[in-house]
């Protein structure tokens, strides 16, 4: 179980974080409030986060990005007006996350990227 975010969370955010963590390997997991999200960190690397609107921010492998962002529940997230987060970052629509299969798929993509690159070897994209 991850160290919990100290900030009080709404019930849906807490539920999503718990569901995400159930799909991640036991180990050095922790939650952190960052960039307006509640992130799940594995070995101090952000792998996935719940945004304020309950969508997910998922870190994916750059080689898989084009196919993943084309999925109907996916889009390129923005950091602000006219500022895309770029390749390797995908936002997953909150409404799609009621489906455990969709959540499992995206957590799997985040795990895949982390397992390919691991801590200390994170590429820039």
* Prediction pTM value: 0.84
Confidence at 97, pLDDT banded by 50, 70, 90: very high
Domains and CATH numbers, the chain: 11-117 (3.30.1460.30)
Rg (C-alpha) for the chain, rounded Å, is 13
Model confidence pLDDT, tens digit, residues 58-93: 999 999 999 999 999 999 997 767 776 778 999 999
When pLDDT is averaged across residues 107-116 and rounded to a whole number, the result is 91
């Amino acid at each position: 179980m991850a160290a919990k975010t100290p900030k009080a969370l709404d019930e849906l955010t807490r539920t999503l974080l718990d569901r995400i963590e159930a799909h991640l390997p036991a180990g050095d997991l922790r939650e952190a409030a960052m960039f307006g999200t509640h992130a799940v960190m594995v070995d101090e690397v952000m792998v996935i986060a719940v945004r304020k609107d309950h969508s997910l921010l998922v870190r994916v492998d750059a080689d898989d990005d084009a196919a993943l962002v084309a999925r109907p529940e996916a889009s390129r997230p923005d950091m602000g007006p006219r500022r895309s987060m770029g390749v390797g970052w995908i936002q997953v629509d909150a409404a799609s996350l009621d489906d455990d299969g969709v959540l499992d798929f995206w957590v799997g993509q985040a795990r895949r990227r982390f397992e390919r690159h691991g801590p200390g070897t994170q590429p820039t994209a």
